[in-house]
Amino acid sequence: KFSAFAERPNPPNTEFRRFYERGDLPVQIDHGGVHNRIAWKVGIDKLDYHHYLPIFFDGLREIEEPYAFLAEQGVYDMMQVGPNKVLSVIPQLIIPIKTALNTRQRVVIVKVLKVLKAL
């Protein structure tokens, strides 16, 4: 039986995971105090948004930690620091957003919609 709302497979093969495991992303987790934060290895304002923002958006469909936390917080940090840089990257974000929404997993959909609202 098929349903329009049935969850679809969400393979853990995101670009975000691949880049993070290779050490190609300028982020790491800062285990400080009560809440974890992202420690950026480079100033966020110096990042190439055309390269990194689509990768972080692809990571929004991650449900495994630490990938899910790093991707979501990374997107918010980049949007907060460089809102004027985000506009030109929006066409490159459509496919990662569509892929995330197509998983039909509630936790992923809610996360993506919150990011879109903040956009």
- Mean pLDDT, the chain, as a whole number? 90
Tell me what percent of the residues of the chain surpass a pLDDT of 90: 71
| pLDDT value at residue 36 | 76
| pLDDT value at residue 96 | 95
d(CA 115, CA 76): 7
pTM over 0.85: yes
d(CA 36, CA 13): 24
Does residue 106 carry a pLDDT above 80? yes
Residues 18, 70, 105, 54: what is their CA dihedral angle, to the nearest 10 degrees? -60
Instruction: List pLDDT tens digits, range 81-95.
Output: 998 999 999 999 999
Please enumerate in sequence order all residues whose Cβ is within 8 A of that of 44, keeping only pairs 6 or more positions apart, or say none.
77, 78, 81, 82
Query: Which amino acid, residue 18?
Result: R
